[in-house]
Amino acid sequence: MEIKTRPGTSEPTVREEEHKEEEEDQPLSPAARVFHAPEFNCYVITVIGIKRKIEPDVIIEGLNQTLVRHPRFSSKLVNNGSKDRQTQRWVRTNVVVEDHIIVPNIEPQNKENADAFLESYVSNLTTVSLDTSKPLWELHLLDLETSDAENVAVLKFHHSLGDGMSLMALVLACMRKTSNPDELPTLPYQNRSSSRSSRLSAGSRGDSRFLWLVMVLWSAIGLVLNTVCDALEFIATAMFFKDTETPIKGDFRLRKSKRMCLVHRTVSLDDIKLIKSTMKMTVNDVVLGVTQAGLSQYLKRRYEEKKKGGEEESKRNLNVMPKRIRLRSALLVNLRPTTGIQDLADMMAKKSKCRWGNWIGYIVFPFSIGLRVDPLEHLRRAKSIIDRKKNSFEAALTFILGKFIVNSFGVQVAANIINRALSNTTMSFSNLIGPIEEISFYGHPITYIAPSVYGHPHALTMHFQSYMDKMTISLTVDPTVISDPHRLCDDWEESLRTIKVAVQERGSGPVSR
């Protein structure tokens, strides 16, 4: 039905009223409802290092002009008086930004050991739920000079507001270049080289055309087989297929405390790019390979500590780890058609529409744990696995399957299945691309960005965030399982140095497989 306004009046049409009501009252997406299940109550925390003293009034004014104009950040969660999560809805509300800003009073003695205080402060945030009577986000402004920042801002969101990539894109859309306060941050151009099939198709004649058809058919067969195998593995993982019980695999059923520990470490992105260029890989390939090497070194040490006889025993037995360790990670994959920072900035400025929500799938990535004579073998194995995973619809399949289960069997069943599947793996992993030049947070220049996630059943989650010429590694750990996360950071950094040296020794020529 469509009824227009009467001539000469400004009364809204029925269509306009319906549209307005639709904007102000929306049901939660299936993924958002899962993120509110007790077994899967997830939050995103992002620690932002600031180069100068924070001015809260300036940031509050900036938030009023940007973030709170986004529908999800100006809507509260309403259950309509029912415990059934199927009835949960986002309802627009008037946002008082000051109610979401926390400026703690930090005692002088805590400022003397600022790094430890920051870790303790962020860890304490993981034990406190957000107030559902207002939009599910808050910002902590800490007048705290740490080893790598003059002051610190901590953003906390509920994961139901959106997936990590969308939330980080939205945060970046609130920022501007320090060199030009009117310009949005610039992300590195992702150069997708043309595939072998496209090169052949450009000049496909005779034998070349036949070869191209054979390659396309072979690729299609591989895609189907890989997808079927990955689907079966995911089903088996949700039912019974468990990872090896290693010193970094937690058991969410035995957890007595909800407290998580969050730490970060910043390394040179140029070192990663050097390895990437020499080995003809992507940054993500290199990060996965170095992570595999770092985890192998860390586990070696943990097994040595368990081994009786200490150092003397480890000298006689250089490899004290089990020969075969099944250690898999859930790699988060963004499935949404690309939404640029400019689109999100326009949405906040002009209140226009933009694709939003949790559009994430999972890839189960098996790390090949073990000590290698050639450290570059970690890179080759990681690249081989991820290349095979790219030729599969695994991520899309997990997203579609999750949505189907929620709609057909309810949120609780979906949460239990996802929770069980993740708990049978060991860790989570994600890698996000950041700005290539210095940016500011409402006039406050940024030194680093360290995003993290907690609430899912993993004792270890690793996030990687690039920014300028740096890569920040964020670890979220269960301290009852991994009590020394800084040592894991040390092993990751040492593995990066070892691989870099090996790459430099081999020069820029082709590396044999």
Task: Enter the DSSP assignment of 336.
Answer: S
Distance CA 494, CA 491 (A): 5
| pLDDT (0 to 100) of residue 317 | 47
Residues 440-447, mean pLDDT to the nearest whole number: 94
Look at residue 55 and give its three-state secondary structure.
coil
**Which secondary structure element, helix H or strand E, spans residue 347, and what is its range?**
helix 341-350
* pLDDT per residue as tens digits for the range 106-158: 888 888 899 999 999 999 999 999 998 999 999 999 999 999 999 999 999 99
Q: Residue 386 contacts by C-beta under 8 Å, 6 or more apart in sequence?
A: 284, 285, 288, 365
CA atoms within 13 A on the CB side of 311: 0
**Can you say how many angstroms the Cα of residue 453 is from the centroid of all Cα atoms in its chain?**
7
Closest CA to 492 of 504, 479, 474: 474
Mean pLDDT on 170-176: 88
Q: Which residues share a beta bridge with 157?
A: 44, 137
CA–CA separation, 353 vs 347, rounded Å?
Answer: 6
Question: Does residue 352 register a pLDDT over 80?
Answer: no
pLDDT category at 493 given cuts 50, 70, 90 is very high
Q: Is the pLDDT of residue 16 over 90?
A: no
* Residue (of 154, 167, 94) closest to 344 by Cα position: 167
pLDDT exceeds cutoff 80 at 371: yes
Instruction: Kindly indicate the confidence band of residue 82, based on its pLDDT and cuts at 50, 70 and 90.
Output: low
Residue with tokens 């399949």: 397
Q: How far is 441 from 62, CA to CA, in rounded Å?
A: 9
Average pLDDT of the residues of the chain: 82
Residue 187 pLDDT exceeds 90:
no
Report pLDDT digits (tens) over 191-246: 443 333 333 333 434 556 766 666 667 677 878 888 888 889 888 998 899 999 99
- Kindly name the residue from 36, 159, 456, 463 that is annotated as catalytic: 159
pLDDT(381) > 90: yes
- pLDDT above 60 for 341: yes
pLDDT band, very low/low/confident/very high, at 284 (cuts 50, 70, 90): very high
Rounded Cα distance between 325 and 322, Å, is: 6
- What pLDDT score was predicted for residue 491? 96
Q: What is the DSSP string of 369-387?
A: -S--SSTHHHHHHHHHHHH
Q: Residue 66: what pLDDT? A: 87
Q: What CATH architecture is 217-265+273-335+354-429+468-506?
A: 2-Layer Sandwich (3.30)
Q: What is the DSSP string of 434-480?
A: --SS-EEETTEEEEEEEEEEESSS-SEEEEEEEETTEEEEEEEE-TT
pTM attached to this predicted model:
0.84
CB atoms < 10 A from the CB of 306, how many?
9
Q: With beta carbons less than 8 A apart as the criterion, state whether 476 and 261 touch.
A: yes
Q: Is the confidence at residue 311, as pLDDT, over 90?
A: no
375-404: average pLDDT: 89
| CB of 282 closer than 8 Å to CB of 262 | no
What is the per-residue pLDDT for 355? Answer: 61
Contacts of 46 (CB under 8 A, 6+ apart): 154, 155, 167, 168, 171, 449, 450, 451, 452
| Beta-bridge partner residues of 330 | 364, 428
Task: Kindly indicate the confidence band of residue 346, based on its pLDDT and cuts at 50, 70 and 90.
Answer: low
Average pLDDT over residues 345-367: 72
CB of 150 closer than 8 Å to CB of 51: yes
Range name among 27-41, 192-206, 488-502 with the lowest pLDDT average:
192-206
Least confident of 152-166, 323-337, 366-380: 323-337
Q: Is the pLDDT of residue 456 over 80?
A: yes
Strands 427-432 and 460-467, bridge-based pairing:
parallel
pLDDT tens column, 405-419: 888 888 888 888 888
Strand order in the sheet with 25-27: 25-27, 89-92, 75-78
* CA distance linking residue 349 with residue 456, whole number of Å: 34
* Distance separating alpha carbons of residues 135 and 333, to the nearest angstrom: 26
* Number of Cα atoms under 13 Å in the Cβ half of residue 90: 24
For 488, the 3-state DSSP assignment is helix
For residue 359, the model assigns a pLDDT of: 72
**Is 384's pLDDT higher than 80?**
yes
The per-residue pLDDT for 22 is 43
Task: Give the residue-averaged pLDDT of 79-89.
Answer: 66
Tokens (6 digits) for 14: 């029925």
Number of alpha carbons in the 13 Å side-chain half-sphere of residue 182 = 0
The answer to whether 329 and 425 have CB atoms below 8 angstroms apart is yes
For residues 148 and 448, the answer to whether their CB atoms sit within 8 Å is yes
159 has catalytic annotation? yes
The partner residues of 448 in beta bridges, in order of sequence, read 49
Q: Are strands 137-142 and 444-454 parallel, antiparallel or unpaired?
A: unpaired
